[in-house]
Structure 1
Amino acid sequence: MRTLVDNAALDAWLARVLPAREARVEKAEKLSGGAIQESWGLAVRADGSVRQLVLRRDSEGTIAASRSRKDEHRLLEAAWAAGVAVPRPIAFCEDETVAGGPFALVQRVSGVGYGPKVVRDATLGGDRAALGRELGRQLARIHAITPDAALAAVLGPRPADPALAQVAHLRESLDALGANRPGLEWALRWAERHAPAPDAVVVTHQDFRTGNFMVDDTGLTAILDWEFAGWSDPMADLGWFCAECWRFSRPDLEAGGLCDRTPFYEGYERESGRRIDQGRVRWWEILAHVRWAVIALQQAGRRASGTEALSLALTGRVADGLELMALRMTPPGKVSA
């Protein structure tokens, strides 16, 4: 892909959108994280002062469920307008000659986002119960987003039954991979037979978890990675956040490895005015393990194409443990406690 430093076309574009009389990228560093897309930290000198920005563009390969960078940027704009703690969106560029492909530009936010470190390092995030409540409040704000016409076009029609639609999508994804995963097939059939009845359908983040937000030593600074966002049951986001596979080294702390569920649930209920249905959350937690397993297998497929990093092959290996977890959570006849 095209270089970001000493790039006259990018410098000219930055001058237009910041705006500034002149702008120049002095430094570009590839940021860690973002297994599906590339994020680059830019130090941009604009009219004598240096601004810290992030440029987000496609990596060499992607997975089908990931939205385009243009759609993701539109979602970020809607979240910013709704008062969600996200990096401030600046502009989107469709001209592929500027930086080797379409890209979004946002203000850089300070903090740490790497999930295992956030869980392990108790100096990050401030008071963990307070962090849990704030994350609950932020999730409620996401679920309260009312799409305008442009965002509605991005999201498409609301599914009548998000639970069964997700089961069908995951089954189709497994079939497309040609993966022989009987444990995942069992879990999908179990989920289909025990799916909750349709209820509310709202805008959901669909990857709201530890590792996709940033914290400093006082608390939350930003919620990241909106590429999977779409319509779903609001309990889907709560189940994804609380799923054991996203607690890292603290499986005992059920709210993202950070705290117990109580403060997280409290923050959500107070902000949203919606009562949490714990049975629905539990069903979505079970499906979270299946979904993450399918995504991991898709990531391994990207590596098999020969265009992506070796780390994606290692990501594919986590599917085995997730499949076992899904089996343990789906005994015949009832939802496990």
Structure 2
Amino acid sequence: MIANALQRLAGQLVPGVHPVRAVQAVRRLSGGASQQTWAFDVATGTGQGQPMVLRRAADASGARAQGTAGLAVEAQLIEAAQAGGVPVPGVRHVLQPADGLGEGFVMDRIEGETLGRRIVRDERLAGARRVLARQCGAAMARIHRLPVHGLPPLRTAAARAELDFQIGLHRVHGTARPVFELAFRWLRAHAPDDVPAPVLVHGDFRNGNLMVGEEGLRAVLDWELAHLGDPMEDLGWMCVRSWRFGHGALPVGGFGTREQLFEGYASEGGQVDAARVRWWQVLGTLKWGIVCEAMVHAWLSGRERDVEKAAIGRRASEAESDLLALLAPEEEVA
């Protein structure tokens, strides 16, 4: 069904190229309850294949998980980011009801590495790791300076509201975690004031959502959690220890330093508030712990029987350890 529907779209995906011969090598890359990702190639009469990706809601209704922007909005954000100089895949087509594929869009497929553990270890990417943190900072600054008035409607996420939301999620699980309670108290006591002018925040800018080549950053992926808010949220999330893939000494994705990230951000006109970055890093670490907690809770309740959920759920204890390290007095942290 997917291949046939894509075949009908082929002419729209490569306009001006005739004849479009066929859609080939259709294969599913990943999937979940709310989204599917498919790779395919469009072969043309010129003999050159065009590599593309379909991002599609898992069912025809296009239902999305709470808090996400939706795939049609995500496509608009990617187009806006591209216009603002952010490295992203080009959007080829936003799905329409007549396409028979539900909600989603087709974009160019960029070659490179996305797996975080390979990005921090692969010797072929050694040169990329020397510049990647600065490139990420620069890309963030470009995202944050995009004109908000030209964007589709998005939710606004302020610091205290996000903290309250995470507390509510944790309470629903009914799990006793003293370290989480300690983090809740610290975050409430140190919550920054709301920013006077919320900006576009990617919401999931981290190692694992980047396409990386030997020269460094090729594309920023997965915009489904984008919203308006504090720009320091993206910088703090990038520094969460879980995205370092075993290279804990390098706080930015396991491949760079905060200084490199901040330098890249400043090079594109961004202004760093290190205290706010730290607050968002603590909240991000807590948020990941609550996500892990939710996964194991879904498995224990029988709603989801995928053993991967239970395995990831055990990582809530890692978040507790990371929180203790973040909240300890500096002189006590090795």
Matched to 1:201, the amino acid is: P
Residue ranges of structure 1 left out of the alignment (5+ in a row): none
After TM superposition, the structure 1 stretch with the greater mean CA deviation from structure 2, 241-250 or 29-38, is 29-38
SS across alignment from 2:222: coil
How far has the Cα of 1:180 moved from its partner?
A: 4.1
CA distances 1:140-184 after superposition (whole Å, capped 9, x unpaired): 0011111345x242x14x45xx21111012122223444444432
Matched to 2:41, the amino acid is: A
Please, which of 24, 28, 39 is the counterpart of residue 26 of structure 1? 24
Cα distance change, pair 35–326 in 1 and its aligned pair in 2 (3 A) = farther
After TM superposition, the structure 1 stretch with the greater mean CA deviation from structure 2, 58-67 or 204-213, is 58-67
Cα distance in 2 for residues equivalent to 1:94 and 1:302:
33
Please, which of 55, 68, 71 is the counterpart of residue 70 of structure 2? 68
Cα distance change, pair 65–310 in 1 and its aligned pair in 2 (3 A) = farther
Instruction: Indicate conservation of the 8 Å contact 1:202/1:231, yes or no.
Output: yes
Cα distance change, pair 328–262 in 1 and its aligned pair in 2 (3 A) = closer
For 1:288, the equivalent position in structure 2 comes to: 284
Cα distance change, pair 293–251 in 1 and its aligned pair in 2 (3 A) = same
CA distances 1:226-284 after superposition (whole Å, capped 9, x unpaired): 0111112111111111122211111001221112222211110121242x121111111
Cα distance change, pair 322–126 in 1 and its aligned pair in 2 (3 A) = same
SS across alignment from 1:272: coil
SS across alignment from 2:214: coil
For 1:44, the equivalent position in structure 2 comes to: 42
SS across alignment from 1:227: coil
After TM superposition, the structure 1 stretch with the greater mean CA deviation from structure 2, 138-147 or 199-208, is 199-208
For 2:57, the equivalent position in structure 1 comes to: 58
Please, which of 1, 4, 21 is the counterpart of residue 2 of structure 2? 4
Matched to 2:119, the amino acid is: V
For 2:125, the equivalent position in structure 1 comes to: 124
How far has the Cα of 1:336 moved from its partner?
A: 7.6
The normalised TM-score by structure 1 is: 0.86
Cα distance in 1 for residues equivalent to 2:67 and 2:175:
17
Matched to 2:73, the amino acid is: D
For 2:9, the equivalent position in structure 1 comes to: 13
Query: Are residues 1:185 and 2:181 paired?
Result: yes
Matching of residues 242-321 of structure 1 within 5 Å: 242-274=239-271, 276-300=272-296, 309-321=306-318
Please, which of 79, 82, 87 is the counterpart of residue 84 of structure 2? 82
CA distances 1:41-91 after superposition (whole Å, capped 9, x unpaired): 111223453210000113479642333211211211111111100011111
Cα distance change, pair 210–311 in 1 and its aligned pair in 2 (3 A) = same
Instruction: Indicate conservation of the 8 Å contact 2:26/2:39, yes or no.
Output: yes
For 2:169, the equivalent position in structure 1 comes to: 173
Cα distance in 1 for residues equivalent to 2:116 and 2:77:
23
Instruction: Indicate conservation of the 8 Å contact 1:30/1:39, yes or no.
Output: yes
After TM superposition, the structure 1 stretch with the greater mean CA deviation from structure 2, 280-289 or 193-202, is 193-202
For 1:112, the equivalent position in structure 2 comes to: 113
How far has the Cα of 1:106 moved from its partner?
A: 0.3
Instruction: Indicate conservation of the 8 Å contact 1:12/1:23, yes or no.
Output: no
Percent of paired sites with the same residue: 34
Instruction: Indicate conservation of the 8 Å contact 2:120/2:129, yes or no.
Output: no
Instruction: Indicate conservation of the 8 Å contact 1:33/1:114, yes or no.
Output: no
Instruction: Indicate conservation of the 8 Å contact 1:247/1:254, yes or no.
Output: yes
After TM superposition, the structure 1 stretch with the greater mean CA deviation from structure 2, 135-144 or 118-127, is 118-127
Cα distance in 2 for residues equivalent to 1:16 and 1:65:
31
Cα distance in 2 for residues equivalent to 1:323 and 1:36:
28
For 2:222, the equivalent position in structure 1 comes to: 225
Cα distance in 1 for residues equivalent to 2:165 and 2:149:
26
After TM superposition, the structure 1 stretch with the greater mean CA deviation from structure 2, 230-239 or 119-128, is 119-128
How far has the Cα of 1:102 moved from its partner?
A: 1.6
How far has the Cα of 1:114 moved from its partner?
A: 0.3
Cα distance change, pair 176–242 in 1 and its aligned pair in 2 (3 A) = same
Instruction: Indicate conservation of the 8 Å contact 1:125/1:220, yes or no.
Output: no
After TM superposition, the structure 1 stretch with the greater mean CA deviation from structure 2, 127-136 or 254-263, is 127-136
What is the aligned-residue RMSD (CA, Å)?
2.9
